[in-house]
Amino acid sequence: MKIAPETRPRLARGVRLHEDRVRRRTVLLAPERVVTPNRSAIEILRRCDGALTFNEIVADLARTFTAEPERIAADAEALLTDLANRRMVDL
């Protein structure tokens, strides 16, 4: 799935990022599911609030981490598409 630049990704209803103090990790909580994302995924998901467009998320990450926007866009698209297929992200 190709994500349109103007898409405003957000976590699906009932899904949230949670700082798990026991595991000392950030986890993605969904009904009856827990996913442990890596640091890159956490940075992407923190920006998925429905306010920023996909392009704005990519641009912000590129500025923050001084990385190539094309690489970030590809990684973010793969992550968000996978989570959308699992109904954890709305695109």
The residues, ordered by sequence, that sit 6+ positions from 82 with a Cβ below 8 Å of its Cβ are: none
State mean pLDDT over 26-31: 95
The domain defined by 10-90 folds into Arc Repressor Mutant, subunit A (1.10.10)
Domain boundaries, the chain: 10-90
Residue 22 above 90 pLDDT?
no
State mean pLDDT over 41-68: 97
pLDDT of residue 9: 98
State mean pLDDT over 60-88: 97
* Rounded percentage of the chain residues whose pLDDT exceeds 70: 100
State mean pLDDT over 28-40: 94
Residue 84 above 90 pLDDT?
yes
Strands (E), the chain: 10-11, 16-20, 25-30, 33-35, 89-90
